[in-house]
Homo-oligomer: A and B are copies of this chain.
């Protein structure tokens, strides 16, 4: 329902732009909700985008820039004059503003910063990397003091007129701005107005240092069902907070990143990414895979003499290696996802390894028996069936072993397991599969002729 509406508006806006009716296009765009505005805006040509943005009110422009991919937002921002851009950046969430300025040239970023109403909200965020708690946090928040009353706190909130996204939790600091506690907004308003904050607050407040990786931030917020997570420096001073919006973004980003890396797509890509970008993100992976591919081919070539004599082995070798690859991918995926969700730690290595080897043995026996039987029937050679079955069992055990071990080793080496596990595990299963199957065939070749 909603997406049809959006598509119709997009068509209407494109029509208006074709007729150079910029005012009409802007009017159509303004009638949409913020996320839909961003979607429609995203589909327009860059020149139309740079023509439209300065004409919207800065609040709407800010929403749009926040919703766009970082690179797209920067590309548009570069083309705006400093005055327009500063007015828009003023309306952005400080963390988003810092990200955008970080993507611009140093000169442009500084010019914009100088003209902001409150550059000190944004500047400190620019020193934190994008994907850390410090880079994600917002610095727009109201902190309470312990000696305030509930009524005074509500009065402060009323005067402060906070933004939409904030303030479902209120954090309490002492005079040195050290984080001391938390009061849920709901508790604040249902308490008698004279209650002191001290007695409403919970001192048991979870916080993270500014350098914490966003994946860890998401894990903590989701585990403890937090709507906001305060960010502190190394001595406990409250610097900002991560809000619920960011949590959802981080979870989706991290899941997408893992999915893509498991498939060898090296960076976030969309269906509508230009061809050039898609090639850039996928070709390196295909090149990386060449070395293992030639390694597996070299293993096969060692058995050239055997294949010359029993050419049908070339057909069955593909099944042994392929099924090993499938089993290895299953095992490594469970491991990579469990590591990502924090459900398994490096200490569980041995029990996992044992489990995966046993799963490999059982699946190997089940699949090996089936493949061996079919091969025997098709070729009329019991020895061929037995060799395929044995090779399959061996390869599935190797698959379980590599699938459980490789992600953990990569993680310990600080390499992303989602990125590199696949190529290593399938190399193991290719090499093992070909070597076992063709090796056994070479040993027992008299039975296969």
Residues of A within 8 A of B (CB): 2-3, 7, 33, 35, 154, 157-158, 161-162, 164-165, 167-168, 184-186, 189-190, 220-225, 227, 244-245, 247-249, 251-252, 255-256, 258-260, 262-265, 269-272, 275, 278-279, 282-283, 285-287, 289-290, 293-294, 296-298, 300-301, 304-305, 307-308, 311-319, 321-323, 326-327, 329-330, 332-335, 337-338, 341-345, 347-348, 352, 355, 358-359, 362-363, 366-367, 370-371, 374, 430, 434
Contacts and interface: CB of A to CB of B under 8 A. Distances in A.
20 contacts: A2-B220, A3-B342, A185-B185, A222-B252, A251-B251, A251-B252, A256-B337, A262-B262, A263-B332, A263-B333, A265-B330, A275-B358, A275-B359, A283-B363, A287-B367, A290-B371, A293-B318, A297-B316, A308-B311, A314-B317
Contacts of A223: 35
A43 to B, nearest CB: 11
Contacts of A335: 271
A304 B314 CA distance: 8
Contact of A283 (B225, B352, B367): B367
A271 B334 contact: yes
B341 A314 contact: no
A-B CB proximity, top 4 nearest: A255-B255, A263-B333, A314-B314, A300-B315
Contact of A329 (B168, B247, B264): B264
A265 B304 contact: no
Given A157-B190, A297-B315, A307-B311, A286 B363 contact: yes
A354 to B, nearest CB: 9
For the residues of A in contact with B, the DSSP-based class is helix
Given A7-B347, A275-B355, 20 more contacts: A167-B186, A168-B185, A189-B189, A244-B244, A251-B252, A255-B255, A256-B337, A260-B334, A262-B263, A270-B338, A272-B343, A278-B359, A283-B366, A285-B326, A285-B330, A287-B370, A289-B323, A290-B370, A296-B319, A311-B314
B315 A318 contact: no
A287 B312 CA distance: 22
Contacts of A287: 366-367, 370
Nearest to A301: B315
Contacts of A225: 35, 165, 245, 248
Nearest to A351: B272
Contacts of A371: 290
A294 B322 CA distance: 11
Given A298-B315, A330-B265, A279 B245 contact: no
Nearest to A348: B271
Contacts of A334: 260, 265, 269-271, 278
Contacts of A245: 225
Contacts of A341: 252, 256
Nearest to A225: B245
A296 B271 contact: no
A311 to B, nearest CB: 4
Contacts of A278: 334, 355, 359
B293 A323 contact: yes
A297 B315 CA distance: 4
A403 B165 CA distance: 39
Given A186-B185, A315-B300, A367-B287, A251 B260 contact: no
Q: Which of A190, A297, A366 has the most CB of B within 10 A?
A: A297
Nearest to A245: B225
Contacts of A312: 301, 304
B322 A293 contact: yes
Contacts of A307: 307, 311, 314
A272 B348 CA distance: 9
Contacts of A367: 283, 286-287, 290
B3 A333 contact: no
Given A251-B255, A362-B275, A168 B165 contact: no
A58 to B, nearest CB: 19
B314 A282 contact: no
Contacts of A247: 248
